[in-house]
Amino acid sequence: SHDDLEKALVRAVESLPSILSAQQRAQCELVAATIESSLIKLSLLRAQAQAAAFGVGSSGMGKSRVHDSGDKQSTDNLLEKVCDKMQAESRNLDAELQDVDALLRQYDAAAGLAGASGFAQVVEDYARVAQETEECRRDLRRLGWTGE
């Protein structure tokens, strides 16, 4: 009946938070385990990358091993290669800068042709044309032109 249904509903609602809480705890533990395994994978990838790049491994506590003469040699070779690459890139950038400077000089030269003297000539010509146009209109009005 109605009272029994109400009591069943109250029991279900009261038990629901504990079920949800257990599910949330399980989800949190899963996320924590996933994060932990991802960190372990990243640590492994880092160690492999170090070994590939420098020929150096790491001890169990994450501290770098002491380099022997072969490791120092490979590190020196790697640094020398990086330095050579940076110098080559610097030379390429210098050459590109010279090309851009040459283009800017050409542009300035072209702009100089139409620069201040060219602009002054345009203004002078425009003023002369405007004056002559006005003189022509006055002459036409004297001759009876109405402008239509």
Q: What is the pLDDT of residue 62?
A: 47
Q: Give the per-residue pLDDT at 61.
A: 44
Contact between 38 and 23 (Cβ < 8 Å): no
pLDDT given at position 69: 60
The number of angstroms, rounded, from the C-alpha of 74 to the middle of its chain's C-alpha atoms is 33
Say how far apart CA 28 and CA 40 lie, in whole Å. Answer: 18
Q: What is the pLDDT of residue 112?
A: 67
C-beta of residue 54 within 8 angstroms of C-beta of residue 71: yes
User: In angstroms, how far is the first alpha carbon of the chain from the final one?
Assistant: 103
DSSP 148: -
Output the pLDDT for position 60.
47
Predicted confidence at residue 70, as pLDDT, reads 63
Residue 11 is predicted with a pLDDT of 82
List of residues 6+ apart from 42 with CB closer than 8 A = none
Residue-level pLDDT at 135: 92
In which residue ranges of the chain is pLDDT below 70?
A: 17, 19-20, 55-71, 110-118, 147-148
